[in-house]
Amino acid sequence: MFNDPALAARLTTSLRRGLGEANVVEIEPSTGSEDFGVFGRVAKVPSLQLRLGAIEPGEFAKSKAAGKQVPGPHSALFAPDRERTLRTGVAAFTMAAMDLFGGSAPAK
């Protein structure tokens, strides 16, 4: 999976404006396998994969302070903060679409 740098910079700006500076962070590259990256390469268009935090912030902070990793989406122990995750995900993808299709994402 390879995120197009120009697309990443553009959407980072939009998402930070809409979701708040502290809520949009860069993460370290990982070596995990993901088929999504093939779509952009085959279509010869820039692509980007977003990751959405789904754990209740207090639980996430507690796990981080203890040096533990929270269970991810492929774990039977994954317990997302459903409503907050859905609201944030819909908002993020709406902001990205508005930016890319010529609208403007609302500021937070």
Please choose, from the candidates 37, 41, 58, the residue with its C-alpha nearest in 3D space to the C-alpha of residue 49.
37
Per-position pLDDT tens, the chain of length 108: 778 999 999 999 999 999 999 999 988 877 777 777 788 889 999 998 888 999 999 999 999 999 999 998 889 999 999 999 999 999 999 999 999 998 765 666
Given this model, what pLDDT does residue 28 score?
A: 82
Regarding pTM above 0.85, the answer is no
User: 80-89 — which CB contacts under 8 Å span 24+ positions?
Assistant: 80/54, 80/55, 81/54, 81/55, 81/56, 81/57, 84/56, 85/52, 85/53, 85/54, 88/19, 88/23, 88/52, 88/53, 89/52
Amino acid type, 61: A
Distance CA(91)–CA(70), nearest Å, equals 23
What are the domain boundaries of the chain? 5-100
Distance CA(5)–CA(58), nearest Å, equals 32
Q: Which two tokens stand for residue 31?
A: 């070596």
Q: Which two tokens stand for residue 78?
A: 């994954």
